[in-house]
Amino acid sequence: MLVNKKIEPLTPWRWRFVFRRYWTLCKVAFQERMEYRWNVLFYAMLALLPVMVGIYLWTTIFNNRNDPQAVKYITTYYLVAGFLGWRIAQYQWTIMFEIREGRMATGLLRPMSYPAKTFWFEVGGRTWSTIITIPVFVLAAIFLGENFRTPENGWIWLLVLLSFMLAYVLNFFITASLGLLTVWQNQPEGFFALYGFGSGALGGTMVPLALMPGGIGDILQWLPFAYIYSLPARIFLGISAEQLAQGLAVQVVWLVIAALFFKWMWQKAIKGFEVYEG
């Protein structure tokens, strides 16, 4: 049987389509989320609750020690880490529902990368929910007054953004790999919830790694979770150039490892998915 081997080259004309395709995907997701603006607002308020509880708890502790600098540090850390952590998408749930509801099958039959489609669609949706979430956190920052401090150097903001983007992609590869487990495990919700809570806790969203007892923080700072949840907040608060370079380097190393792991999982899952789908 003769099989056609023709491959279309990626000419500048076609690159235009590739860009437009993902841009349209982002717009569609953005519009879809806009349909549920109140839901997004309530979720933003939900995100703020544990952050405020943490701030008041640690403020009480540090006030008792009469340490106003520590209060400012912890207040800013919680609010920034809480906000950015809330912006990190948990792709395991998206992929689980897509597999269960048959939308992954539809996606695989389209001439585009399914992982890229999933990634950009969520980016579009998150952009809308970020627009809703920002005022909620800004109001909280105003309410917290002088205990919330912002970087004086504009470059810090850019570095925070860079680190956050790397964290987002790193978390995409990890959580998308987890989501693919749905192909073999029909009820992975428990594991997904454990990961969602556990990764945040191990990444420093509940207690900053520097305040963890014994050598736990020293160990956790080498795990990927710290580079998803706390590095951008630490950069926001100000770290040395050496710490910054080391932090970004470790983040990139974890990103490469997670990307390779995802690629391996994807190849396995596609074969498994066929059994699931059949």
How far apart (Å, rounded) are the C-alpha atoms in residues 68 and 65? 9
Q: Which stretch binds another protein (CB under 8 A): 30-38, 152-160, 190-198, 231-239?
A: 30-38
Which sign does the torsion angle of CA 18, 20, 26, 31 carry? negative
Q: How many residues bind another protein, per CB under 8 A?
A: 32
Q: Rounded to a whole number, what is the distance in angstroms from the first to the last CA of the chain?
A: 26
How far apart (Å, rounded) are the C-alpha atoms in residues 209 and 219? 9
Site string for another protein, 92-131 (x = CB under 8 A): ----------x--xx-xxxxx-------------------
Least spacing, CB of residue 155 vs another protein, in Å: 36
Query: In the chain, helix, strand, coil percent, each to 5?
Result: 80, 0, 20
The HSE-up count of residue 99 (CA atoms within 13 Å, CB side) is: 28
- The answer to whether residue 2 forms part of the interface with another protein (CB under 8 A) is yes
Least spacing, CB of residue 5 vs another protein, in Å: 9
- The answer to whether residue 3 forms part of the interface with another protein (CB under 8 A) is yes
For 5, which DSSP code?
-
- The answer to whether residue 35 forms part of the interface with another protein (CB under 8 A) is yes
Which residues lie below 8 Å from residue 171, measured CB to CB, with a gap of 6+? 88, 89, 90, 91, 228
For helices 91-100 and 154-179, what crossing angle results, to 10°? 30
- Rank residues 7 and 241 by Cβ distance to another protein and give the closer one: 7
Residues 247 to 276: which contact another protein by CB under 8 A?
Answer: 271, 274-275
Among residues 28, 162, 207, 212, which is the contact residue for another protein, using CB under 8 A?
Answer: 28
How far apart (Å, rounded) are the C-alpha atoms in residues 274 and 172? 23
Least spacing, CB of residue 102 vs another protein, in Å: 5
- Rank residues 107 and 151 by Cβ distance to another protein and give the closer one: 107
Which residues lie below 8 Å from residue 144, measured CB to CB, with a gap of 6+? 55, 75, 79
Least spacing, CB of residue 127 vs another protein, in Å: 16
Q: Which stretch binds another protein (CB under 8 A): 22-30, 46-54, 228-236, 247-255?
A: 22-30
- Rank residues 120 and 225 by Cβ distance to another protein and give the closer one: 120
- The answer to whether residue 277 forms part of the interface with another protein (CB under 8 A) is yes
Cβ atoms 98, 107 nearer than 8 A: yes
Which chain residues interact with another protein by CB under 8 A?
Answer: 1-4, 6-8, 14, 17, 20-21, 23-25, 28, 31-32, 35-36, 102, 105-106, 108-112, 271, 274-275, 277-278
